[in-house]
Amino acid sequence: MEADRRDLWADDRLAFFTDVLTLEDDRSYGASLDPWQVEDFRLLDERLHCWWERPRGHSKTGDAGAAALHHLLTVPSARVYVAAADRDQAALTYDSLREFVQRSPLLRQTFALGKWRVDVASIGSVLEVLAADSAGSWGKRPTLVIIDELSRWRGSDAEELLYSLHSSLGKRAGARMLVCTTAGNDTDSLAWQFRAAIMDDPAWAFSRRPQCASWISPEFLAEQKRTLPDIVYRQVHANEWTEGGIDPFVTPERWDNCATFIPTLDVTPDASLVLGLDIGLRHDYTALVAVSRDPERPADSVVVRETRLWQPPAGGCRLCGGARDPALAAAGRGRG
């Protein structure tokens, strides 16, 4: 590929998208972008790092893949790392990259596709897809890191992957990071903490989008709103951070019928207790609630018989599968 074409595209990302990349129906990818997508791409030129927070179906993986291919082709000796929570999500990310390449005669003859890797031998550039359940990421020297669906990252492996890649950006001058995610359902999560840290940081551009994609029909959204739990709809389609991820089993109306508290476990044989247990291993409390039918109104009311709370120790519960103590792990204890 001629150097002057790469220089042109280096100065004009949208020209590369328009000239080279196509969608599944053969339309030009660049010519088909919504205005809000163009705005998000321009943010990549305004700050060193960028956060894209979008509803589900708003081309996060596709747009991030396009940005990665542009960087890979226009930055000599580029090292691009696309990181996902697990291999399943990593496969989706890599499929988006591969499809762009396979639909472009120019990219097919320029890029070599491996299982989890893309090479541009002519300028020594490499892209690798990583996952938190794969080998470690320490020692990488990226020029671009793309973090996919950060709100779905859980556990110590995911945390290590994020911070190892983030801290590696100082190894190469001008190294950049792009985070693409939908809102999550846990404001104590890794994604929420990282989001809070970068939101007002001068090195970061922050973009949060409501429902705005031209290709998502009002009829589809209406059906989703009718059939999904409200808290799920708000998270995935309205892009609102929520707590819990699903509608609570006990609604406020049902709780109103549980207002009576009878602090005794003495029940008749035909008034069995029902126990509800919510286990928190690291941040949340573990809660146990015992209820039974109200002896005075057994047909329509429930009474709370007992409640208990347990707070997990600092660093997480080592007896419930989250052990960080090597001795406990080696001994095979802490299961159950």
Q: Is the pLDDT of residue 336 over 80?
A: no
So what's the pLDDT on residue 328? 32
Structure tokens at 261: 């508290």
Q: What is the DSSP letter of 22?
A: B
Confidence of residue 257 (pLDDT cuts 50, 70, 90): low
**Residue 119's pLDDT is what?**
94
CATH number (3.40.50.300, 3.50.50.60, 3.40.1710.10, 3.30.360.10) of 3-236 reads 3.40.50.300
Q: Which long-range contacts (CB under 8 A, 24 or more apart) does 314-323 make?
A: 315/282, 316/281, 316/282, 317/280, 317/281, 317/282, 320/279, 320/281, 321/281, 322/281, 322/282
| C-alpha count within 13 angstroms, C-beta hemisphere, residue 191 | 24
Is a pLDDT exceeding 60 seen at residue 218?
yes
Residues written for the chain:
336
For 127, phi then psi, to 5°, come to -120, 135
Nearest to 213 by CA among 57, 68, 32, 44: 57
At residue 77, the pLDDT reads 95
Q: For residues 108 and 112, give the distance between their C-alpha atoms in angstroms, rounded to a whole number.
A: 7
The residue extents of the domains of the chain are 3-236, 248-336
Q: Identify the residue with better confidence: 5 or 315.
A: 5
Please give the Cα distance from 180 to 53 (Å, whole number): 6
Q: How far is CA 73 from CA 9, 63, 124, 295, in A?
A: 9, 16, 10, 73
State phi, psi for 277 to the nearest 5 degrees.
Answer: -125, 125
| pLDDT at residue 288, rounded to an integer | 85
The encoded tokens of residue 12 equal: 């004009």
Phi/psi of residue 39, each to 5°?
A: -60, -45
Give pTM, 2 decimals.
0.72
Rounded to the nearest 10 degrees, what angle do helices 60-74 and 13-20 cross at? 100
**pLDDT for 311:** 72
Residue-wise pLDDT for 143-202, tens only, equals 999 999 999 998 888 999 999 999 999 999 999 999 999 999 888 899 999 999 999 999
- CB under 8 Å to 305, separation ≥6 — which residues? 262, 263, 264, 265, 267, 273, 290, 291, 292
